[in-house]
Structure 1
Amino acid sequence: MGTVGNTKGRRERLRAETTAEIKQVALELMAAGGPDAITLRAIAREMGMTANAIYGYFATRDDLVTTLINNVYTSLADTVEAAWDATTPAQGPAARIQAWAGAFRDWALANPEGFRLIYGDPVPGYRPPEGGAAPDAAHRVCTGITALAAAAWPHAEPRYVDSDFEWSDFDPGLLDEVRPAFPDLPPAAVALALHIWSHLHGMVSLEIYGHLRSQTRSPDKLFREELTQLMRSLGVTPQS
């Protein structure tokens, strides 16, 4: 029994290692050649495997892409939630927003291929499964963004006093995610969440895609300044 168990354990370990390598190679191919560079044949070639052998791990290219998206989204959700949970409401909205935003940027810089996979150009021909490739993790990230708006809302609300946003202005799927988590927020707060996200996503995207290289030697300082000005525009006093 011991020999059989050890053999099974080795096989499972080798399969897990090969699966992880397949996913890493897929991301590297995408980084080098764009989303359409992800093919099972190309991955097999890079790994010295036969095309038939790799189908034993992922039946189709779309199965692989779905797994990648789910893994990447989960990694991001875990990272920003940990940063958020490391702060408390008593520390004020600035500390919580800065922690979440900083964790988001740090994660993106450490995982540029993953960022491009979920927030960049779509993989040509990819068809996600019903409900999306990473419904739970994507929901967690979306809820986290809305939590930023909820933290800032007591300060930002006066700036939206003349807002004419209605629930019908937003995608029903988005509302299904955020309204149960934040039942007291009005429609304008959802607009605020998208406003905050556009700033964070925009700055990080510029950095990930290399568009800031010829403009600044201090992208970190630029990001922190953008975040500071964003919070001031919301009536939130940023922390030094």
Structure 2
Amino acid sequence: MATAQSPRTRYREQTRAEIKDIALRQLAEGGTAAVALTRIAKEVGLSGPALYRYFDSRDALLTDLIRDAYADLADAVVRAAAALPDGAAPRARLHAPTGACRSWAVAQPHRYLLIQGTPVPGYSAPADTLDSARAVLGPFLAAFATAEPSASVRPVVDQMTEWAAKDPAVAEWARVYVPAGAEGAALAGGVLGWAHVHGAVGLEVSGQFTNMGHTGDVLLRAQVDALADAFGLE
């Protein structure tokens, strides 16, 4: 049973949400450099010192925005994978999360660039954002459960197999999505898949494909099909 919140707690959560909404608007208008606590405080109707009761620094605010963005992206990816019918082919299981990532990024490029774009100078993300990033990557791994890697990707598979052998936590995470013994191929496929997505989508949302005669969805699908071929996915 949910516990009723006090008026003070509700007000605090509403104010934090309003602060983040304003910060996201600033982010969309001018990137991370445009996120300014003084401007946010003025718009919310708080003094500078009062704002620090909600976020004690700009980095703390950015961290919350990053966590939210990863959570939303992970939700989009997981929902796309879950929507596939039982027995869906591995290639379809790869297209689902890659397509979901692109759709999410194109719809809100400022949030995508916050987590995948140019690092914010002087900002260091907390360690728990690694778990958020892995939540996004997990459904990619699942597509490679029965992969048969070709020679072209074997060097990456070998490195990832060695990584999983040296780091039990990595192997344990991979086995959430694939059977024991498939960790190396799954990690290699997942990382390569994410590299394809980030490369293509990053260029698209930053406007680098403008007037180049193709659409982002068709380009990404071709890249993913080439990757699926390299891993023998049906």
The residue identity in structure 1 corresponding to 2:39 is: A
TM-score when normalising by structure 1 = 0.78
CA 1:168 to 1:184, structure 2 compared with 1: closer, same or farther past 3 Å? closer
The residue identity in structure 2 corresponding to 1:59 is: D
Two-structure CA RMSD over aligned residues (Å): 3.0
Partner of 2:84: 87
The answer to whether residue 162 in structure 2 is matched with residue 165 in structure 1 is no
Q: Distance in 1 between matches of 2:183 and 2:103?
A: 31
Unaligned runs of 5+ in 2: none
- Superposition map of 1:153-192 within 5 A: 153=147, 156-159=148-151, 163=155, 165-166=158-159, 167-168=161-162, 172=167, 175=170, 178-181=173-176, 182=178, 183-192=180-189
Partner of 2:115: 118
Q: Distance in 1 between matches of 2:205 and 2:172?
A: 28
TM-score when normalising by structure 2 = 0.80
Partner of 2:233: 236
Q: CA deviation at 1:225?
A: 3.1
Partner of 1:57: 54
The answer to whether residue 74 in structure 2 is matched with residue 74 in structure 1 is no
Partner of 2:133: 138
Identity %: 35
Q: Secondary structure at the match of 2:75?
A: helix
CA distances 1:6-58 after superposition (whole Å, capped 9, x unpaired): 9x54x555443332221122223233333233231232244454312322221
The answer to whether residue 217 in structure 2 is matched with residue 220 in structure 1 is yes
Partner of 1:98: 95
Q: CA deviation at 1:64?
A: 1.0
- Over 6 Å off, 4+ runs: none
